[in-house]
Amino acid sequence: MIRHTKTAEKKKVVMEARYEALAAEGGKRAVKKAIEKRQKKVGQREKRRRPQIREESRKRRRAE
């Protein structure tokens, strides 16, 4: 019986292999730097998705 791997498992295996190769080339610091860079990228993406408050509503809130 053939067992198909789930997408999440595939991503995990690929990510682990990528970080292992990076660790072999640049050490633990390079891996840490790559992870931080990825987290920053995701954070900025989430920040862009947040709804923006219009200037007028900000001014009204300050006046009250």
Note the pLDDT tens digit of each residue in 7-16. 999 999 999 9
What is this structure's pTM? 0.57
- The reported pLDDT for the residue numbered 50 is 82
Max Cα–Cα distance, the chain, nearest Å: 69
Number of domains the chain is built from: 1
Residue stretches of the chain with pLDDT short of 70: 1, 53-64
**Can you give the residue range of the structural domain that contains 33?**
7-63
User: For residue 2, is it within any domain?
Assistant: no
Closest by Cα among 4, 36, 30 to 18: 30
Cα-Cα end-to-end distance for the chain: 69
Q: DSSP code of 3?
A: -
User: What size, in residues, is the chain?
Assistant: 64
